[in-house]
Amino acid sequence: MITNVTSFSRSGLSDWLLQRITAVVMAAYTVFITAYLLFNSGLEYSQWLGLHSHIAMKIFNVLTVLSIAVHAWIGLWAVLTDYVTERLLGPKATALRIFLQLGMITVTLVYVIWALDIVWGI
């Protein structure tokens, strides 16, 4: 059974909407980077540095990293709540699911902080 502890009081509609929004951000980033690489075939480090030093690109990078984190969290939460259940794994399933979710949160936060350090040089 999914409780407020494991769902963080989210609804299916909000998860669905967040997944769609984050997918659009990630797709836009992929299209932009691909187009940039295609139109700048002789790309040098100075051009790449110039692109990523613009504030708009830094914001786009951060939005993309946050989108990846949110998208991954919702997807992995759904997998864990579907497959790490008492019916499949017995009475220890809830504790295992919470442990795995905390691990996912930790890894995701480390990746987001690491990406912010790379993008902003914090």
Q: Which domains does the chain have, with CATH numbers?
A: 11-120 (1.20.1300.10)
Report the amino acid identity of residue 46: S
Q: What's the CA gap between 71 and 16, in Å, rounded? A: 10
Question: pLDDT tier at 84 (50, 70, 90 boundaries)?
Answer: confident
Of 4-18, 21-35, 78-92, the poorest mean pLDDT is in 4-18
Q: Which residue has the higher pLDDT, 66 or 82?
A: 66
Question: pLDDT tier at 37 (50, 70, 90 boundaries)?
Answer: very high
Report the amino acid identity of residue 40: N
Buried b (16+ CB within 10 A) or exposed e, 37-75: eeeeeeeeeeeeeeeeeeeebeebbeebbebbbbbebbe
| pLDDT on residue 3 | 55
Q: What's the CA gap between 2 and 81, in Å, rounded? A: 7
| pLDDT on residue 65 | 97
Q: What is the mean pLDDT of residues 1-29?
A: 80
Q: Which helix (H) or strand (E) holds 11?
A: none
